[in-house]
Amino acid sequence: MTVTDHFLEFVKFDTQSDEETNLTPSSPGQMVFAKHLKAVLLGMGLEDVDLDDNGYLMATLPANTDKDVPVIGFIAHMDTSPDMTGRHVNPRIVKGYPGGPIVLNEEQDIVLDPEAFPELNNYIGQDLIVTDGTTLLGADDKAGIAEIISAVAYLQAHPEIKHGKIRIGFNPDEEIGLGAHKYNVEKFGCAFAYTMDGGALGELEYENFNAASARVTIKGRNVHPGYAKHKMINSIRVAASFIAMLPRWETPEHTEGYEGFYHLVGIEGSVEETVLTYIIRDHDRDRFESRKKEIEHLCRKTNMEFPGSCSVEIKDQYYNMREKVEPQMYIIEYAEEAMRMAGITPKVQPIRGGTDGAQLSFKGLPCPNIFAGGENFHGRYEYVSIQSMEKAVEVIVNICRIVEEKA
């Protein structure tokens, strides 16, 4: 089977994660998919194929060299985003994309248009897999899974390519930030690994946001509005004042590159009580800590005007993996060399988000992120280039070759 065949098979599985269940995996479809993948890996003749009760699947491609080669791993996640349904995905291949708009769903007038998504112009002449406009596609990260499996199959079919022991890891719940929480790094047993979970061709990432969540609770006092003067405290209005005190331009829609932000992701309230939910992001650790302190400062400021009304709970989520990867930059150099061997110009850039690799790096497994080829993740306009997936397979094979040669 080609990488395309694998991908088209895998996207048929509904694996949306669910942050409300408090289960691992968070949705039953992920375990169904994991069992299917286990059967695929067993059918390939891989060793140590193990699926645990939490939906973490691992396997081994044994070394075919006498050298003492570091054990390396390749990782991808099985879940798709809760942002849009992944049920009944109906993919379609646009062969030799000629440019211009792609009608995804004529009946509902859903069009993938380069005027809205100019990156499409980079793919003229390539074969694109798109949705029918009613679901996401699932290239994030079923493209990564298909690429890892295809690369391993290629190595099996070409024993002349020498490599050390290769470990494969597929995990649940990356999209809700829990993919690495129950990852048994010791059991995985690698010196370092790569997540195949990036976007466009050539992306190579070893920097990500430091991340925290903040839950701001504002208590009000509700009395009859006709007799409320000097008595009522409307928590919604106090919350609106709190929101306005944060810097207007330090939000996702006004930032890029290394710029951090405060992002209001939820508000639920009444006169009596309002809860604001924020995520806080910054690549720089000092600025990240300052952002958290600013939220706490504004809470104290609110309490000066409305004593005892405001409280905040801040929880760190993950940290920038750069500090764990930089001492071992040869990991990045291997990936860059592997890309150049495949005719790809590496694009080293920071992730404006998180990745399983960030948390795994802090658990002792340095784990940068490599492109998987998709674009427009988490929505109906998601697509992936078949040529980019094929190049990702080539990069994985090249990394395995390079690590063995340099051992």
**pLDDT confidence of residue 355:** 85
Please say if the pLDDT value at position 299 is more than 90.
yes
**pLDDT tens figures, 1-19:** 999 999 999 999 999 999 8
Residue 197 pLDDT grade (very low, low, confident, very high; cuts 50, 70, 90): very high
Q: Are 9 and 72 in contact (CB under 8 A)?
A: no
**pLDDT tens figures, 316-352:** 989 999 999 999 999 999 999 999 999 999 999 999 9
User: pTM for the whole thing?
Assistant: 0.90
Take residue 342 and report the two structure tokens written for it: 């495949």
Q: Are 399 and 332 in contact (CB under 8 A)?
A: no
CA dist list (Å): 230 to 18, 223, 224, 334: 44, 10, 12, 67
Q: Are 206 and 239 in contact (CB under 8 A)?
A: no
Strand 369-371 relative to strand 192-198, pairing = parallel
Bridge partners for 264 per DSSP: 278
140 classed as catalytic? no
Q: Are 368 and 329 in contact (CB under 8 A)?
A: no
CA distance 298 to 319: 24
Which of the residues 79, 203, 282, 375 is marked catalytic?
79
109 classed as catalytic? no
CA distance 16 to 178: 13
Which of the residues 174, 375, 390, 404 is marked catalytic?
174
Domains and CATH numbers, the chain: 3-207+320-406 (3.40.630.10), 210-317 (3.30.70.360)
Task: Give, as one character, the DSSP assignment of residue 125.
Answer: T
CA dist list (Å): 325 to 192, 212, 251, 387: 10, 21, 28, 29
Residue 201 pLDDT grade (very low, low, confident, very high; cuts 50, 70, 90): very high
Please say if the pLDDT value at position 70 is more than 90.
yes
Take residue 278 and report the two structure tokens written for it: 């924020």
Mean pLDDT of 72-82: 97
**What percent of the chain has a predicted confidence (pLDDT) above 70?**
100
Please say if the pLDDT value at position 91 is more than 90.
yes
**pLDDT tens figures, 142-182:** 999 999 999 999 999 999 999 999 999 999 999 998 999 99
Task: Give, as one character, the DSSP assignment of residue 86.
Answer: -
**pLDDT tens figures, 213-272:** 999 999 999 999 999 999 999 999 999 999 999 999 999 999 999 999 999 999 999 999
